[in-house]
Chains A and B, each alone.
Chain A
């Protein structure tokens, strides 16, 4: 387990103005007033948190940092700790009705929108999942597992990844779908999804964190949209 380094001014290359601006963006989120009240350090969120058992991660620390409006510390957490959260929202049982998990959701969105370096790193492990879901509109499949990205799955994750196909055939599960063999989504649905992602800025977010992945997805999307008669829709 890597120890979380919270030393002051750890990211001295980033100006305090920039750190303030990012936190202002977090606070301006319309969900903000319902996710943070005040924290009296009871530790229920940490007790309930599965990630806290595997990482040097504390939802209490996140709630405290944002309650204090300590923008230097918040930047440090946005650059590291927030990506250790499983987003399971077990912390929602907070007696003050804070939601560290939802605070993190907002912080992650701001990190992604602003292309923070750690957002790119953290999301690298999800490239295959994004690729699959964005193009097919459907499910996660077991062969999306990228063993290097998920240490909390244990050391045997490599063995599972290597032998996945054989082991699944031996079971066998109800379907044997993989990234290559998902069920078919009808044309109307997938075109609507592509349009929604285009119009809501989701594609811009992906461009900000993974340009290579963006290029691959956009190629496919543009082709399908053109076939469907949307020749005026372009990504750039």
Chain B
């Protein structure tokens, strides 16, 4: 008798949406999450507002949690890490550790939704000095400051007068080994720039970039308003170094439009760190024998026509564990994975 339950590994937006979808279709989802709370990186990193619609992130994650908590078709296991797996479609036996106790979870198919981690700016190849200068922060740090409603310089606690974003930190960089674009940082920086301009109207905000990648509606919903309404300064040209001079940070780079090198003073610099596979993504991929690409994201095998199937039958991967993704991508992939995983168990349970 084939097992028709679907195991979902990872309780971020992708896992939550996959669980909701499977439950809605009348199947049972077993959702395991290694943290003690659902909501994934948006929750754990304290995101303030979502890109591009500026919706409150905490509220959005709560809505996603509400759809699966107390849902009779969803079994939630927090503080749970997957440790091994045997079997195949219709008959996976997945070992896990939950709250210090070893257990075995039986499932017909598996969805990996283990997500990404933010690039550690200590590994950047430029000289931005994230770990040296208090006022050099990341998008993640800035998001926390914005959420607190008190956007101030970490060094002094005072409101900054000049803030710069530096794009593509840890992305599009052969020296680091991450040639890919992290896809969301242009939008998030622009969103944060708008929030800073609204919170601190006297603060000048600059974005140093290589290309602004504002696909689809992000162009008219974020990029143009940031420039036209909120007077955010977009400067094409990257910074190579940040040095401290007295109380101020000096950003050294090239202003390519004006054809001149620049050394501009800033009170704060925000590094637009990209996405890398989370430790959980790498570990779970290895447990299931799922192929990873050269960046250690999970490789899906169907190209544009199938964004969730992996080399292992019955094991899907969805969301940011497969590569840089925005929330919309994650939700779409979660739906596809829910559908494909149910189709996989049905093929075994109800042969054609």
Contact = CB atoms under 8 A, between A and B. Distances in A.
A98 B231 CA distance: 15
Interface in B214-251: 223-224, 227-228, 231, 233-236
Please provide the 9 A-B residue pairs with the shortest distance between their CB atoms, ordered closest to farther. Answer: A38-B227, A38-B228, A64-B257, A37-B228, A68-B233, A6-B258, A41-B236, A6-B260, A38-B224
A6 B256 CA distance: 12
Interface in B135-182: none
A67 B227 CA distance: 8
Given A67-B227, A68-B233, A69-B231, A41 B260 contact: no
A61 B227 contact: no
Given A37-B224, A38-B224, A40-B212, A64 B231 contact: no
Interface string A26-58: 000000000001111100000000000000000
Contacts of B259: 6
B154 to A, nearest CB: 27
Interface in B300-350: none
A2 B252 CA distance: 27
Interface in A40-95: 40-41, 60-61, 64-65, 67-69, 73
A43 to B, nearest CB: 10
Contacts of A64: 257-258
A8 B235 CA distance: 16
Q: Is the interface of B mostly helix, strand, loop or mixed?
A: mixed
Interface in A1-28: 6-8
B224, B228, B231, B236 pick with most chain A CB within 10 angstroms: B228
A73 B258 contact: yes
A81 B234 CA distance: 22
Interface of B: 212, 223-224, 227-228, 231, 233-236, 257-260
A40 B234 contact: yes
Contacts of B212: 40
Interface residue tally of chain A, by bracket?
10 to 19
Contacts of B260: 6-8
A202 B310 CA distance: 75
Interface string A142-180: 000000000000000000000000000000000000000
Nearest to A58: B257
B199 to A, nearest CB: 19
A40 B222 CA distance: 13
A60 B257 contact: yes
Contacts of A8: 260
Nearest to A6: B258
A188 B252 CA distance: 64
A98 B264 CA distance: 27
A61 B257 CA distance: 7
A77 to B, nearest CB: 10
A235 B148 CA distance: 64
Contacts of A40: 212, 223, 227, 234
A8 B234 CA distance: 18
A142 B227 CA distance: 45
Nearest to B264: A8
A39 B257 CA distance: 11
A124 B181 CA distance: 53
Contacts of A38: 224, 227-228, 234
Contacts of A61: 257-258
A64 B227 CA distance: 11
22 contacts: A6-B258, A6-B260, A8-B260, A37-B224, A37-B227, A37-B228, A38-B224, A38-B227, A38-B228, A38-B234, A40-B212, A40-B223, A40-B227, A40-B234, A41-B236, A60-B257, A61-B257, A64-B257, A67-B227, A68-B235, A69-B231, A69-B233
Which of A8, A37, A39, A40 has most chain B Cβ within 10 Å?
Answer: A40
Contacts of A7: 260
A4 B212 CA distance: 27
Contacts of A68: 233, 235
B250 to A, nearest CB: 14
Contacts of B233: 67-69
Interface string A86-109: 000000000010000000000000
Nearest to B260: A6
Contacts of B227: 37-40, 67
Contacts of B228: 37-38
Nearest to B259: A6
A6 to B, nearest CB: 5
